[in-house]
Amino acid sequence: MQLTLIRHIKTFAPEGLCYGQTDIGLPPGYGKVHAGIAEKLKDSKFDVIFSSPLQRCKLLAEAISKNRQPIVCDDRLKELNFGEWEMKMWSDIESSAEAKLFFEDYINVAPPGGESFQEMIHRIKTFNQELRKNYTGKRVLIVSHGGPIRVFVGLNKNIEIQDIFDIRVDYGQLIKLMQRTGE
């Protein structure tokens, strides 16, 4: 299976805002940026396009698809759920006792009302297993967020869980992976 991953473009959020699963808007002119990414993929054919349902991903998936094929939105492709921290500035979060626990063990500790990195890895693993089972020999495009894309790359390259966040994934970046299927 040929897997192409694309991270959404930079959002309208101010620098330092925690917005994991919040459906935050895109800046003015985002259509031109989306069109540029779509242009890079104009010669690529995909058998299926999956997207996080959040508008910062779905709008990019629609620009790439140009209504030629349906987009399958899946909640498992959303960014990490930061719970009560969503839409707060990191500078206001980082001094709390909960933040101290989270930053000491973000792999296993969830923000209040949110999910741990381990929980996000689990949902991406189950999605990835379904891809491997159902899309043998297919070309798959996924438009998602930095966290889930890091997990896809980490799973594909057998990167240790504690090293996954060291993987750099820029806004609008395309990553192509070949995956063995049927496992």
Q: What is the pLDDT of residue 118?
A: 96
- The token duo for 182 is 């049927």
pLDDT reported for residue 178:
84
The number of domains in the chain is 1
Per-residue pLDDT at 54: 98
Q: Is the pLDDT of residue 145 over 60?
A: yes
CATH code for the domain of 6: 3.40.50.1240
Q: Assess if residue 183 is contained within a domain.
A: no
* pLDDT over 50 at 183, yes or no: no
Average pLDDT, the chain: 94
Q: Is the pLDDT of residue 181 over 80?
A: no
Q: Please, what's the b/e burial string for 11-50 (b: 16 or more CB within 10 A of its CB; e: otherwise)?
A: bebeeebbbbbbebebeeebeebbeebbeebeeeebebbb
User: 44-69: per-residue pLDDT in tens?
Assistant: 999 999 999 999 999 999 999 998 88
Q: Determine phi and psi for 175, rounding to 5 degrees.
A: -130, 130
Confidence of residue 180 (pLDDT cuts 50, 70, 90): low
Average pLDDT (79-93) is 97
Residue 25 domain flag: yes
Q: Report pLDDT for 6.
A: 98
Contacts of 34 (CB under 8 A, 6+ apart): 9, 59, 60, 63, 64
Q: Examine the pLDDT at 167 and tell me if it is beyond 50.
A: yes
Q: Average of pLDDT values for 9-13?
A: 96
Residue 146 to residue 99: CA distance in whole angstroms: 20
List the Cα angle 69/66/35 in 5-degree steps: 145
User: How many percent of the chain have pLDDT more than 70?
Assistant: 97
* pLDDT at residue 153 is higher than 50: yes
Q: Torsion-angle region of residue 160: left (phi > 0), alpha (psi -120 to 50) or beta? A: beta
Task: Give the domain range for residue 96.
Answer: 2-178
- Alpha-carbon distance of 78 to 96, in angstroms, equals 25
State residue 67's pLDDT score.
80
